[in-house]
């Protein structure tokens, strides 16, 4: 698939999320993500407002579903989400329920392997259960905790090659990537590129980063789309 740029709206205020989304789309971003902080702060109302403001743009609801899979996916689909996220470490019945809801409501299911003891096996597990995409994800707390202990910080790039080789569905690499690394992801077999904390969002305050983000994002999008 052609490279896709997704911005993660890891914000806690819908007005700021809408403003950031509009700027990102002007710059060339393809997909919007209602990040987990926004989902927690604004819930279905936040997704509805994104859909109202951007009627033709794919919207990923980063639910990180662990249980109640069908209902959560159904609610987000009805609110306007085009994609939902379920965790590989959920029970397989939960993943199956999200996949069924995806089929029933015509939305994409993204399976997240965060926290899997075997990340490659977790990605394959998600594909086997019917997910449409794999999110190969090293978590925020995991990265910070390991770094605080003085150990090398893990990166999704560590096993990205193995994950891409293990599955046939599109892969997204998430978690602490530098800007340069994120831009290179399509060349490494992960065409779904996420721009968010800490690339375009302040990771500690969960607010829009300072500076001329629109000009920077325009250059980033051009670099990714040009691959």
Sorted by where each starts, the structural domains of the chain and their CATH numbers stand as 4-225 (3.20.20.70)
The predicted pLDDT at position 212 comes to 72
Q: For every one of its 227 residues, what pLDDT tens digit does the chain have, with 9 covering 90 and above?
A: 999 999 999 999 999 999 999 999 999 999 999 999 999 999 999 999 999 999 999 999 999 999 999 999 999 999 999 999 999 999 999 999 999 999 999 999 999 999 999 999 999 999 999 999 999 999 999 999 999 999 998 999 999 999 999 999 999 999 989 888 999 999 999 999 999 854 555 545 555 556 677 888 899 999 999 99
Phi then psi for residue 209, to 5 deg, are -70, 155
Its pTM stands at: 0.93
Rounded Cα distance, 75 and 175, in Å: 27
End-to-end CA distance of the chain: 11
150-174 CB burial, b ≥16 within 10 A, e <16: eeeebbbbebbeebbebbebbbbbb
The predicted pLDDT at position 198 comes to 42
């Amino acid at each position: 698939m052609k490279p896709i740029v997704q911005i993660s709206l890891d914000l806690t205020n819908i007005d700021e999320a809408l403003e950031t989304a509009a700027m990102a789309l002007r710059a060339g971003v393809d997909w919007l993500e209602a990040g987990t902080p926004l989902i927690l702060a604004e819930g279905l109302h936040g997704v509805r407002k994104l859909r109202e403001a951007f009627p033709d743009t794919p919207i990923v609801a980063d639910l990180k579903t662990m249980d109640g899979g069908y209902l959560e996916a159904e609610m987000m689909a009805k609110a306007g989400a085009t994609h939902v996220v379920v965790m590989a470490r959920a029970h397989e019945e939960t993943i199956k329920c999200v996949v069924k809801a995806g089929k029933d409501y015509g939305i994409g299911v993204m399976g997240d392997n965060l926290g899997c003891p075997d990340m490659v096996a977790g990605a394959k597990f998600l594909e086997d259960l019917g997910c449409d995409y794999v999110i190969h994800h090293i978590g925020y707390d995991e990265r910070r905790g390991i770094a605080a202990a003085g150990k090398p910080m893990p990166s999704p790039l560590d096993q990205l090659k193995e994950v891409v080789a293990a599955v046939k569905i599109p892969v997204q690499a998430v978690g602490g990537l530098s800007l340069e690394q994120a831009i290179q992801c399509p060349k490494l077999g992960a065409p779904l590129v996420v721009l968010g904390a800490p690339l375009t969002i302040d990771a500690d305050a969960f607010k829009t980063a300072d500076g001329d983000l629109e000009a920077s994002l325009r250059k980033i999008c051009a670099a990714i789309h040009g691959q």
